[in-house]
């Protein structure tokens, strides 16, 4: 008699692990496209440009040159040196290569940082922005820490309220996550915001900061300022950056951090997990950082033009109010009135109906944490899409809303 097929259980940690809903919606989009549907997609946050040719050529040269094996877990020396010089130059800091660690993308450092400064299941707290990149909360929970949201409010152009941040810090707080320019709102922390945050942190010297600055080159209004550049903040700030957004290298998977104290810890995490980032991608990233910046500058100019285009078009749609985002390539319009006009209960129903009835893919605010009380309903656009797609997509939304939720195509 054959024994019954029994599948072992999944751990509570594995079962509760969150996800990044941009990829979930992208799967929905791809399924509809396979069915022959015409979908304009704004759901995935990656440049729609090819990786610049000089970077591709550097990767090919690495392949032909036999750069096929493992590298040191912290990364190849030329990349660590290039990243240190580049991060330091743009932040007004003297960063040494020994402080820099390279991984397969910047995303793993979120988990490594949380695991390195909190202990599992003892009540250690991590403060993170809401709305915010969903992997923050997911990894806080997976690493056995306590997620403590601090809200980014529309009335403050999606910056922290320093008073609210101060009230959230307790003796259990171990880490503060900052993201500027910000996903999903496109907001950015100005020098005054960061100085207020630094003033608070100086009263809590045992608190680490994870500065997610992956969009630091994609700031359109004002100067880029890093918390690490303010007095007393350098040693306790983990500066996180990478190649994905600046040089259209999302699939190459190259990210890096700088922090003298934690660099050896992060290196051990990489040894335990991914061993090292792809050597080929690392040599490509050296060229990205040190080579000509014409293509990166052109992409930035294009994103700025697209930002202005999508904000202008969205603000012409009845019931939609879109602030002008200062950086990254995201728009975060308020759609509270548009939901009412189309008889949608909330932004998630609005999002689904836009996809299935109007043929437009966006993300809803609940994909980035619980809605901020009193701020209404929002959706996120990634305007890393062609001007033609932006014009067509917003036109479909406009038709959908003006018809009160009728067929928008």
Q: What angle do CA 297, 309, 304 make, to 5 degrees?
A: 20
At 334-345, the pLDDT tens digits run 999 999 999 999
Higher model confidence: residue 12 or residue 296? 296
To which H or E segment does residue 26 belong? helix 21-34
Q: What angle do CA 188, 193, 195 make, to 5 degrees?
A: 130
At 196-212, the pLDDT tens digits run 999 999 999 999 999 99
CA distance 146 to 136: 11
Cis previous bond, 184, omega within 30: yes
At 36-88, the pLDDT tens digits run 999 999 988 889 999 999 999 999 999 999 999 999 999 999 999 999 999 99
pLDDT band of residue 409 (cuts 50, 70, 90) is: very low
Q: Is the pLDDT of residue 408 over 60?
A: no
CB-hemisphere CA count at 13 Å for 394?
Answer: 26
Contact 40, 360 (CB under 8 A): yes
| pLDDT for the residue 22 | 75
**Mean pLDDT across 215-231:** 95
At 279-289, the pLDDT tens digits run 999 999 999 99
**Neighbouring C-beta atoms of residue 81, cutoff 10 Å:** 18
**Mean pLDDT across 263-291:** 98
Q: What are phi and psi of 220, to 5 degrees?
A: -105, -25
Contact 401, 60 (CB under 8 A): no
Longest dimension (CA), the chain: 74
Q: What is the percent of the chain where pLDDT is above 70? A: 98
- Please report, to the nearest 10 degrees, the dihedral formed by the alpha carbons of residues 28, 29, 31, 33 taken in order: 170
pTM of the model: 0.94
| pLDDT for the residue 363 | 95
At 17-30, the pLDDT tens digits run 887 777 778 888 88
For residue 37, the SS3 value is coil
Q: Is the pLDDT of residue 313 over 90?
A: yes
| pLDDT for the residue 3 | 65
| pLDDT for the residue 159 | 83
Q: Is the pLDDT of residue 15 over 90?
A: no
| pLDDT for the residue 25 | 83
**Mean pLDDT across 95-123:** 97
CA distance 159 to 213: 15
- Walk me through the domains of the chain, giving residue ranges and CATH numbers: 12-50+295-402 (3.90.1150.10), 69-290 (3.40.640.10)
Higher model confidence: residue 134 or residue 13? 134
pLDDT band of residue 13 (cuts 50, 70, 90) is: confident
Q: What angle do CA 367, 370, 372 make, to 5 degrees?
A: 120
| pLDDT for the residue 1 | 58
CA distance 230 to 198: 7
């Amino acid at each position: 008699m054959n024994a019954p097929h029994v599948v072992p259980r999944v751990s509570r940690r594995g079962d509760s692990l969150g996800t990044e809903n941009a990829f979930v919606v992208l799967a929905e989009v791809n399924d509809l496209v396979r069915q022959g549907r015409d979908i304009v997609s704004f759901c995935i946050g990656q440049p729609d440009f090819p990786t610049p040719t000089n970077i591709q050529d550097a990767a090919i040269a690495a392949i032909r040159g036999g750069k096929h094996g493992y590298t040191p877990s912290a990364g190849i020396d030329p990349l660590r040196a290039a990243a240190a010089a580049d991060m330091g130059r743009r932040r007004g800091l003297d960063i040494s290569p020994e402080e820099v660690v390279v991984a397969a993308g910047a995303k793993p450092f979120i988990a490594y940082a949380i695991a390195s400064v909190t202990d599992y299941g003892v009540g250690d707290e991590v403060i993170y922005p809401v709305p915010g990149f969903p992997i923050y909360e997911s990894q806080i929970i997976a690493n056995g820490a306590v997620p403590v949201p601090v809200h980014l409010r529309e009335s403050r152009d999606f910056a922290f309220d320093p008073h609210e941040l101060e009230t959230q810090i307790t003796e259990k707080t171990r880490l503060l996550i900052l993201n500027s320019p910000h996903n999903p709102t496109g907001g950015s922390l100005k020098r005054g915001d960061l100085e207020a945050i630094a003033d608070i942190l100086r009263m809590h010297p045992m608190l680490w900061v994870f500065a997610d600055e992956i969009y630091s080159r994609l700031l359109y209004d004002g100067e880029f300022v890093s918390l690490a550049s303010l007095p007393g903040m350098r040693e306790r700030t983990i500066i996180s950056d990478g190649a994905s957004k600046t040089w259209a290298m999302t699939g190459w998977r190259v990210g890096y951090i700088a922090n003298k104290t934690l660099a050896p810890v992060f290196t051990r995490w990489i040894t335990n997990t991914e061993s090292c980032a792809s050597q080929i991608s690392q040599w490509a990233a050296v060229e990205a950082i040190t080579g000509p910046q014409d293509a990166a500058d052109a992409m930035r100019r294009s994103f700025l033009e697209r930002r202005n285009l999508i904000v202008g078009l969205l603000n012409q749609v009845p019931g939609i109010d879109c602030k002008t985002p200062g950086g990254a390539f995201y728009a975060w319009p308020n759609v509270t009135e548009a939901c009412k006009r189309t008889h949608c209960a909330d932004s998630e129903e609005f999002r689904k109906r836009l996809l299935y009835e109007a043929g437009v893919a966006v993300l809803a605010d609940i994909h980035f944490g619980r809605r901020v009380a009193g701020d209404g309903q929002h959706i996120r656009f990634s305007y890393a899409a062609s001007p033609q797609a932006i014009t067509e997509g917003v036109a479909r939304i406009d038709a959908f809303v003006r018809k009160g939720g009728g067929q928008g195509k």
